[in-house]
Structure 1
């Protein structure tokens, strides 16, 4: 008899084979790592919670909002929900309040599990009014329902729990970060989660027994299925740029961390700190292109033979392609000359293809116009982790998904990444930016990742952002820039330098307007994706300087 298609299906086996191995360690409120779960404990306690949830009528198919900090309770709950066949709904708590309320209303959950602060906000702000089953992680206070402790006690002794979930059953609804609009609920089926485990294992050569420091907590959910130990960092996961590098290094040294995952903002924290990472054999960074200087600095801190991976993907499909740091560094000159950012080769068995840029929906792959290597177009991907729909967002689904007939009579979904890029002659994919953030001038389009790295080479500039002002087709390109911390400069001289840099390349030579900005808006999830839509509105309101 085969196991159900379920990310939690590997837990009972791991609990039998390595019952005393630590599955995860979490800091307490004082920053001490006093809380841990072995594989046996994670399996047994998540069984009890799954049984208790079922008795409370949170079971197969129940959409359940989870608003719990990355503590042992979060991981116990998530695996319990998977075992029960329930559908966890995850939303970034740091997004705009109105957007968060819209996400929760859209999901129309039947249950709401959260810490007391989340329950307070639910009552005061009217979140998730459809939720009738309330579970508080901590003291219940005055908002009704029950507590996680009571749920676990109720299910204690019930024995193994694992719903016979099928590959196409809905496993979760994960909302995007909303960095380019209102977050959308990505529908994950059990086959998507299971496929992600295999693709990650194969893409990065992950072996059981490693110790992971996942600074983006949802990624820690993959660790038990990969046979890894998770060490949850002592930091605010919504503000990786503010992480304390001393705390990160203390955890890495104490537990012998062999791999870590973090956004480019977190990588910059470690790179600027400059302390060696002698135990770390694998670093993975995603969420946005990693600046070349950051890649170079991190690689000098790693031991010989260690790898720095930058996977390319999205909530809707991950991973799509990967590139290792050595190869990424070898493409740096091309990036700084305006080629875009190389994101490597497609992860097998994904099929990545580039199509002509259009903004309208494409219903059938027969209506697609593929472009040849070397030409910029929209990136599409078909593969086992490509999700097929957004929850109750039919218009967004039509824009992002294309149906493709297969030779055997079946069909598959091709996901439009919403990114633009191109393939080189070696089969490597180059990322050129978000499709919606391209600047359509009278002389043709400009792409953010082909423009900004050219100007980011100036030593006084921290980063830049290309935006367009005016109607598409006649937009004026504007380059917003942030200065390096503590730098005071002559604006006229700096902008003369930027014009001189831009003049070296045909596409950047068109940019004649430059605007300093005190601090770019960025996404809440990775603190790395620049909110160019917000910057564009700001740039449009700025007056032209006097001649």
Structure 2
């Protein structure tokens, strides 16, 4: 089919290719706004936006997919995509899906060394990226010997390949390739918060089921308007017939967002839903509270990447529509979504238990997920016969299976035996999280809830006990001067010294050594008052805990353990 025919073409058989969910949206709502991005201001200071309809976006993606095919790209070709959030970003993602390309998606905020290593490990056959990305490819050409299919988004300089504009100008006929649900669609890298980033292989079936689970669980309807502060979430919007409004922000630094840009976009477009990290909503919620600002059009906020503090949930729930709610989907790059809980449930019930060390309740599982809690094991578990399932309320590690669970790592493949358990034709993924299942009060299986107690790799083992981060940190996070804290262990496993490193709210940072000593004394008193923390006797104050680059929320406890060890020398 040609680009101009795309919106009238639809075959149900194509829907196993996640890219053609956009084509179905374009067929049903051709003139609806698919994407809008900020574009300066008019003479009166009002924000202007570039926009594309679903039909225009679908036509664009077909032209790009046809151009890629004309270049020699075939289904299964691995191409790195390095384009910032924009209309081009969304168009390219769907074009690559439609062409059957395995797209390599890497968060540029992970740092230069990690980025280059991840790119090289993925062994790409080409780059689709902005000039800076292409310059990096040329500069490090020895790391990418197979990269021959290259497309520059913007001005091409001294390197070869075509520009995106040239690709579209070919206007070649597009014949959709035969793609099956199990065929690879993307390689997405983990944040590396508990080790080197790993490349996770996603199939078209994984993406399709993710879109279905998220749409159905949260009752998302075509025609809604969403503002994603995490670019990849925009892809679900187009697959669900939802308008995407990109805010003006650096998505690699959500904690540094200017809240006024979020508020402005929400009001300009009467946004129904927004997705962002806890760090972003902490900033936006505090700003709205301080300036008495409401966002009445918003009925659904999603926040993920790390446990969302109750104070963030409460602030955000207070500024959105009275009948709206804040939802915290739980999962991982390798398995998403797994479970979800709403702020209304947290604030009504679970926050009180969390504050006294029960862990963080992440809610009930999605319909397509099965889960178990098994005995903690730091070694490989390759078959279910090696697994010992625990009784309800016993703390262990969580494993999950279902259509959204990915099958393997394609980089750092040595990690597969540590994370995947074979169960006949099924695979279970070890989440790397520890916690316990709380039975449903009615006995209904989907009524049980998982309480997250921390990462398995972060647990602290002393000669007499095992301490879990989320349980212990909650005790100290109740102090009015403390924003967040981190439990780390210094020394060899089994003989570790537990240490709490606390980050005060900026306005409550100690102003003198005496003030710091007083704050530490108060934290020690809290430790002695809880059975979870009585072993902890060492405390440090830190002005800014290191966090992950994707969500600015996951604390890098490994770095803090090294920092604490040096302080104790």
Instruction: Please give the range of the TM-score, normalised by the shorter of the 2 chains.
Output: over 0.9
Q: Match for residue 342 of structure 1?
A: 361
Q: Match for residue 455 of structure 1?
A: 476
**Residues 25 and 33 in structure 1, CA contact (< 8 A), matched pair in contact too:** no
Aligned-partner Cα distance in 1 for 2:165–2:436: 52
Q: Match for residue 300 of structure 2?
A: 282
State whether structure 2 residue 245 is matched by structure 1 residue 220: no
**Residues 191 and 548 in structure 2, CA contact (< 8 A), matched pair in contact too:** yes
Q: Match for residue 555 of structure 2?
A: 530
Aligned in 2, Cα 1:66/1:488: closer, same or farther, shift over 3 Å?
closer
Q: Match for residue 158 of structure 2?
A: 142
Unaligned runs of 5+ in 2: 1-10, 441-447
Displacement after TM superposition at 1:157 (Å)? 5.3
Q: Deviations over 1:72-119 (max 9, x none)?
A: 111111111100001110011111222211111111010101101112
Aligned in 2, Cα 1:59/1:138: closer, same or farther, shift over 3 Å?
same
* Matched residues, number: 537
Q: Match for residue 393 of structure 2?
A: 374
Match of 2:13 among 3, 6, 12: 3
Aligned-partner Cα distance in 2 for 1:390–1:28: 39
Q: Match for residue 333 of structure 2?
A: 315
Aligned-partner Cα distance in 2 for 1:16–1:375: 51
User: Secondary structure of 1:217's partner?
Assistant: coil
User: Secondary structure of 2:428's partner?
Assistant: strand
Q: Match for residue 333 of structure 1?
A: 352
Match of 2:310 among 283, 292, 302: 292
Displacement after TM superposition at 1:507 (Å)? 1.6
Aligned in 2, Cα 1:328/1:226: closer, same or farther, shift over 3 Å?
same
TM-score relative to the length of structure 1? 0.96
**Residues 101 and 128 in structure 1, CA contact (< 8 A), matched pair in contact too:** no
Trace 1:139-538 onto structure 2 (pairs within 5 A): 139-154=155-170, 156=171, 158-159=173-174, 161-274=175-288, 275-329=293-347, 330-405=349-424, 411-426=425-440, 427-489=448-510, 490-538=515-563
Please, which moves more after superposition, 95-104 or 136-145? 95-104
Displacement after TM superposition at 1:487 (Å)? 2.2
**Residues 67 and 172 in structure 2, CA contact (< 8 A), matched pair in contact too:** no
Q: Deviations over 1:513-545 (max 9, x none)?
A: 00111211110100000000000000000037x
User: Secondary structure of 1:260's partner?
Assistant: strand
**Residues 303 and 328 in structure 2, CA contact (< 8 A), matched pair in contact too:** yes
Q: Match for residue 132 of structure 1?
A: 148
Trace 1:113-132 onto structure 2 (pairs within 5 A): 113-126=128-141, 128-132=144-148
Aligned-partner Cα distance in 2 for 1:481–1:315: 28
**Residues 45 and 76 in structure 1, CA contact (< 8 A), matched pair in contact too:** yes
**Residues 355 and 475 in structure 2, CA contact (< 8 A), matched pair in contact too:** yes
Please, which moves more after superposition, 378-387 or 15-24? 15-24
**Residues 25 and 240 in structure 2, CA contact (< 8 A), matched pair in contact too:** no
Aligned-partner Cα distance in 1 for 2:568–2:394: 36
User: What is the Cα-based RMSD across aligned positions, in Å?
Assistant: 1.4
State whether structure 2 residue 86 is matched by structure 1 residue 71: yes
Q: Match for residue 97 of structure 1?
A: 112
Aligned-partner Cα distance in 2 for 1:29–1:399: 49
Q: Match for residue 77 of structure 2?
A: 62
Displacement after TM superposition at 1:55 (Å)? 0.4
Unaligned runs of 5+ in 1: 406-410
Displacement after TM superposition at 1:488 (Å)? 4.1
Aligned-partner Cα distance in 1 for 2:422–2:525: 47
Aligned-partner Cα distance in 2 for 1:285–1:471: 35
Q: Deviations over 1:445-498 (max 9, x none)?
A: 111110111100111111100000000001000000111113243122111111
User: Secondary structure of 1:35's partner?
Assistant: strand
TM-score relative to the length of structure 2? 0.92
Aligned in 2, Cα 1:310/1:488: closer, same or farther, shift over 3 Å?
closer
**Residues 408 and 416 in structure 2, CA contact (< 8 A), matched pair in contact too:** yes
